[in-house]
């Protein structure tokens, strides 16, 4: 079942809007402005991610909600790559187009070929890792059958970590920062670490 939308709080709605429109290529569909139950107000903005699905952000203006963290990994004590949002890239050409747009916007792009999919990663202005993912093939019957035993195994075998590439920015980001997933890549070991 497709989802309608996922929603996150934003630390800077202007930077978030710029990232999701210019850098991600999404279109703003709706802005809802409402009072909050504790006397402030909020803006809830919805971006079209394709296929009738959306990502939304809260711009909160309420003293009762001050000082909150907006990333959903590092503020919980987790590496940035653990909790992330992945968007579909239906073809290799679409994935490459997203990568080029990110590079043109000053982003260092991490790419991992997982064999069954190829993914690119960056972080948004809120510290949320975003991904575009191209499925290279359907899952095999064997992969599907072994999924539950692997889920329940106390010591499952490791998959290959995949082929890792880092694509340098083609220009500086407008704000002067080079947003990236901030992963250190160990090319000799073939894996990425925080």
pLDDT, tens digit only, all 194 positions of the chain: 889 999 999 999 999 999 999 999 999 999 999 999 999 999 999 999 999 999 999 999 999 998 899 998 999 999 999 999 999 999 999 999 999 999 999 999 999 999 999 999 999 999 999 999 999 999 999 999 999 999 999 999 999 888 999 999 998 876 655 455 545 444 444 444 43
Q: Would you say how long the chain is, in residues?
A: 194
Q: Same structural domain for residues 116 and 155?
A: yes
pLDDT of 86 reads 96
Q: Same structural domain for residues 84 and 174?
A: yes
Neighbours of 64 (CB within 10 A): 10
- Indicate whether 185 belongs to any domain: yes
Q: Same structural domain for residues 52 and 99?
A: no
Cα distance between residue 167 and residue 123, in whole Å: 14
Last residue of a domain, one of 32, 65, 98: 65
Domain, as residue range, for 131 = 78-193
Q: Same structural domain for residues 53 and 125?
A: no
Q: Same structural domain for residues 45 and 139?
A: no
Residues β-bridged to residue 102: none
Last residue of a domain, one of 24, 43, 65: 65
Q: Which two tokens stand for residue 189?
A: 């070991």
Cα distance between residue 188 and residue 183, in whole Å: 15
Give me the number of domains the chain comprises: 2
- Residue 27's CATH number: 3.10.180.10
The model carries a pTM of 0.87
Q: Same structural domain for residues 17 and 104?
A: no
């Amino acid at each position: 079942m497709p989802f309608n939308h996922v929603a996150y709080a934003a630390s800077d709605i202007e930077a978030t809007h710029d990232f999701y429109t210019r850098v991600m290529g999404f279109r703003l569909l709706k802005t809802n402005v409402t009072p909050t139950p504790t006397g402030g107000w909020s803006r809830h903005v919805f971006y079209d991610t394709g296929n009738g699905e959306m990502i939304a952000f809260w711009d909160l203006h309420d003293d009762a909600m001050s000082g909150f963290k907006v990333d959903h990994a590092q503020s919980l004590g987790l590496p940035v790559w653990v909790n992330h949002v992945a968007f579909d890239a239906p073809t290799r050409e679409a994935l490459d187009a997203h990568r080029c747009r990110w590079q043109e916007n000053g982003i260092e792009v991490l790419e991992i070929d997982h064999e069954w999919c190829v993914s690119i990663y960056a972080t948004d202005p809120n510290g949320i890792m975003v991904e575009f993912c191209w499925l290279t093939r359907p899952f095999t019957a064997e992969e599907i059958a072994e999924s539950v035993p692997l889920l329940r195994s106390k010591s499952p075998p490791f998959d290959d970590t995949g082929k890792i590439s880092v694509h340098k920015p083609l220009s500086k980001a407008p704000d002067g920062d080079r947003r990236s997933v901030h992963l250190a890549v160990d090319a000799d070991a073939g894996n990425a670490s925080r």
